[in-house]
Amino acid sequence: MRREGFAALNDFYLLAEIKTLRYVKTYVMIIEYIEGIELVDMPEISDEVRGKIKQSIYSLHQHGMVSGDPHKGNFILQGNEIRIIDLSGKRPSRQRKAKDRIDLERHYGIKK
């Protein structure tokens, strides 16, 4: 997705699982460390950052993904860019995209 100009997601490098009787007993995920400020640590979120959050969620939807939980702890401000962490991994649907949009309004006051 970075090749397509969508750099908001953190890179995912490896998922290793140990299974017992077809059930995952232990797993290890290696993902990109993103240095920056979590939105949860910001006393106030500017309109510019709100616009970047909105655009990142809509770009996710255009690429066939959903956030599933776009709260302040799942975004990091890295320089002047917004980065998304902790995607739900759920399949996109109209209902899940609508939930993302509802959550944007609830958490950030962002309307369509």
For position 36, what pLDDT does the model report? 96
The hierarchical CATH code for the domain 2-10+36-108 is 1.10.510.10
The position carrying tokens 């993302």 is 100
Reply yes or no on whether the pLDDT at 7 is more than 80: no
Amino acid type, 59:
S
Summary mean pLDDT of the chain: 89
Per-residue pLDDT band for 5 (boundaries 50, 70, 90) equals low
pLDDT digit string (tens) for 53-102? 999 999 999 988 899 999 999 999 999 999 998 887 778 899 999 999 99
pTM comes to: 0.80
User: Domains of the chain: which residue ranges?
Assistant: 2-10+36-108
Beta carbons of 53 and 44 less than 8 angstroms apart: no
